[in-house]
Structure 1
Amino acid sequence: MKPLRKYSPEGTVASVFFIALFVVLMIQIFGRTPLFTGPVWTEEAARWLWVWMAMIGIAEVERTDSQLRMGFLVETLRRRARLAVFTAIDIVYLGIVLDLVWIGWKTIVRTWSNEAVTLPVSDAVLYASGFVAMILIANRIFRRIAGIGYRNDSAETEVAQ
């Protein structure tokens, strides 16, 4: 198994969305002062950027296998048994995520002709965040199941971090 890289495409993209969110929020905040009149689109853009940042951020959490879990019973098992349990959980999780990919695709198709209230784009752009994130998450889960992704499976590693 390769060592975990410090930076990833998911983390980088989520960081860019965070920076864009910060800029939009600053425009919105200063637009409420006497300095200048803020554009009306900043509130909706901030919500959309927040959703994209959060969804892509979930994929980064999957990359590092650092989601919250109740592991006190599983961690009493031997390493092979623990890996078997975590792999079974990942297989079920992958099935759920693939179903969410399908639901995301259907939502994009259904909302493609709807225009956003203040932004000159389709509502499907907002719903595409879930679709894209679920594809990235499915990739990371599949890699973890196949043994080529990072798996945080030892109690000692979690205590050391």
Structure 2
Amino acid sequence: MSAARKYSPEGIAASVLFILLFITVLIQIFGRTPLFAGPVWTEELARWLWVWMGFLAIGEAERTDSQLKMGFLADALPKAARRWLFIVIDLVYFGIMAHLVLIGWRTILRTAHNEAVTLPVPDAVLYASAFVAALLILYRIARRLMARFAPGADIHDSKAESAL
């Protein structure tokens, strides 16, 4: 399997959103001083950037296998049992994320005509963050499941999984 890619689209996007969030918060801070009057939309934009950044970062954490886990029980199992345990966990995880994609899509449709308070976009743009993150996570789980079914795959090698 190839070496893990250092940067991913979701990681890059989350980093860019962090920079934009930082700039937006600076505008808010300086807007509260006598230097200039800060625009009212910065508070809402900061919140939206934070949400999008957080959801995209979840996708990046899934890609790099950085989420918290307790593996001491799985480590005690024989290799074949451990392989099937991780397959079952990923299948359940895939089902949950597929359901969250559906919920996210329905939320986007439901909020497509709600105008944001200070930004000239519908609320659906904010709620699309969970939908996009869930799609990215589904993609990563599907890739990991394909790798788990590959002949000779070491199912417990997290470095090989994060290369996906």
Partner SS state of residue 95, structure 2: helix
Matches of 1:62 and 1:72, distance apart in 2: 20
After TM superposition, the runs of 4+ consecutive aligned structure 1 residues lying more than 6 A away are none
Aligned to 2:99: 99
The whole-number CA distance in structure 1 between the counterparts of 2:80 and 2:47 is: 44
Query: 1:107-130: CA deviations, max 9, x gaps?
Result: 000000000001010000000001
1:19-98 equivalences in 2 (<5 Å): 19-98=19-98
Structure 1 residue 152 displacement after superposition: 8.0
Deviation at 1:65, TM superposition (A): 1.4
Q: Which moved more, 1:71-80 or 1:115-124?
A: 71-80
CA contact (8 A) 2:83 2:155 kept: no
Whole-angstrom CA distance in 2 between matches of 1:86 and 1:132: 24
Identity rate, percent: 62
| 3-state SS of paired residue (1:147) | helix
Would you say how many aligned residue pairs link Structure 1 and Structure 2?
Answer: 155
With structure 2 as the length reference, what TM-score do the two structures score?
Answer: 0.88
- Structure 2: tracts of 5 or more residues without a match: 149-153
Aligned residues of 1:30 and 1:38 also touching (Cα < 8 A): yes
Q: Which moved more, 1:83-92 or 1:24-33?
A: 83-92
Shift of residue 2, structure 1, vs aligned partner: 2.4
Provide the residue aligned with 1:135 in structure 2: 135
Unaligned segments of structure 1, at least 5 residues: none
Deviations 1:66-105 (A, max 9, x none): 2111211111223332222112111100000000000000
RMSD: 2.0
**Residues 34 and 152 (structure 1), Cα distance of their counterparts in 2 relative to 1, 3 Å cut:** farther
Query: Normalised by the size of structure 1, how large is the TM-score?
Result: 0.90
